[in-house]
Amino acid sequence: MEIVTRIARMRHLAPRLKQDRKKLALVPTMSALHEGHLSLIRRAQILADAVVVSIFFNPIHFQAGEEFDVPARDLARDAELMAKRGVDVLFAPSVDEIYPEDMLTYVTTDTLDCRLCGAQQPNYFRGVTTIVNKLINIVRPDYTLVGQKDAQQSIIIRRMVRDLSMDTEVFICPTHREPDGLVTSSRNALLSAEERQAATALYRGLQQAQKLVERNGVRDAETLIGAVRQVLDLEPLVRPEYIALVDMENLAPLTAIAEGGEGLLAVAAYVGQVRLTDNIILVGSTG
């Protein structure tokens, strides 16, 4: 595995990885690799002949004072993990390499980027679309793999690629979960034992809603959101930021899932000081 820190070197390597019609996949990450990332890498290796994993902690995601938990960056550990898994290239550029001092260009997805998680962090998704646009331009992957764990981010990236006719196919891959259902995330390490237990309420709440859909044919947002809230309310350590049922394409709030249609049920909550998110896709019954 080669560790690349320069854009020019990555640009030089990428077409070589694609020679003889080989397919190239990109897995963009923000470091602190965990089982969730590794599951994306495994999928990338099934899809493509070569896999580039990028590690870049994007400063333009964040504004001063935002409550984001910055995962500690340990490139040596991440590199070792990826080399073991047969990743072809680890692209880990510095912030200076990626952003010219006088960077002025941004990619935005109007309306999508201020919904759900974007309501509290106005520049967050502009940061996501800009860096992922740039990474795709540099690596030119046939496939770009993102996690349903970050559903809004994944939907926004897929939309950007379509709207700007970028020549890559976006795959949104299933969420990796711990045995008790909690989404695998580097932030979980920040939870106390008690908080860690309370945090399972997010997925338990979502599952409760899923049961209502599957067993009782419920499709209306109020009932489904209420079911999640009820589970969260039983955990004093959990403070919900939002619980929302939204359209899978434009993230607009749904009053109900259409018969046979889909809806994204998403939740963000603080557990102690740690902000966690989770989501599931619900399919409205036709009965």
If one asks whether residue 153 binds its own copies (CB under 8 A), the answer comes out as no
Please give the structure tokens belonging to residue 242: 């939002």
If one asks whether residue 250 binds its own copies (CB under 8 A), the answer comes out as yes
If one asks whether residue 152 binds its own copies (CB under 8 A), the answer comes out as no
- Cα of first residue to Cα of last residue in the chain, in angstroms, is 52
264 is in an annotated binding site: no
* Interface residue with its own copies, options 107, 114, 173, 227 (CB under 8 A): 107
> Shortest approach of its own copies to residue 112 CB, angstroms?
6
- The neighbour count for residue 246, using CB atoms within 10 Å, is 21
Query: Which is closer to its own copies, CB of 60 or CB of 281?
Result: 60
3 state DSSP class of 252: coil
> Shortest approach of its own copies to residue 167 CB, angstroms?
6
> What amino acid occupies position 98?
I
**C-alpha–C-alpha distance, residues 118 and 133, integer Å:** 18
3 state DSSP class of 228: helix
Query: Which is closer to its own copies, CB of 138 or CB of 280?
Result: 138
23 is in an annotated binding site: no
> Shortest approach of its own copies to residue 75 CB, angstroms?
21
* Interface residue with its own copies, options 1, 7, 190, 281 (CB under 8 A): 7
Q: List Cβ neighbours of 165 (8 Å cut-off, separation of 6 or more).
A: none
Q: Which among 201, 187, 270 has a CA at the least distance from the CA of 235?
A: 201
If one asks whether residue 103 binds its own copies (CB under 8 A), the answer comes out as yes
Residue 2 bridge partners (DSSP): 89
- Counting every residue written for the chain, the total comes to 287
Q: In which element (H, E) is residue 223 found?
A: helix 221-233
> Shortest approach of its own copies to residue 93 CB, angstroms?
10
If one asks whether residue 112 binds its own copies (CB under 8 A), the answer comes out as yes
Q: Which of residues 114-143 bind its own copies (CB under 8 A)?
A: 129-130, 133-134, 137-138, 140
129 is in an annotated binding site: no
* Interface residue with its own copies, options 19, 76, 165, 179 (CB under 8 A): 165
CA dihedral 236, 241, 245, 249 (to 10 degrees): -150
- Active-site residue (options: 12, 37, 61, 176): 37
Active site (annotated) includes residue 37: yes
Assess contact for 132 and 84: CB atoms under 8 A: no
Kindly list the distances between the CA atom of residue 101 and the CA atoms of 106, 109, 287, in Å, as whole numbers in the listed order. 14, 24, 58
Query: Which is closer to its own copies, CB of 133 or CB of 153?
Result: 133
> What amino acid occupies position 265?
L
**C-alpha–C-alpha distance, residues 261 and 247, integer Å:** 9
If one asks whether residue 166 binds its own copies (CB under 8 A), the answer comes out as yes
Annotated binding site: 30-37, 147-150, 153, 184-187
For its own copies, the binding residues (CB under 8 A) are 7, 11, 100, 102-112, 129-130, 133-134, 137-138, 140, 159-160, 162-167, 249-250
Active site residues: 37
Annotated binding site for ATP: 30-37, 147-150, 184-187
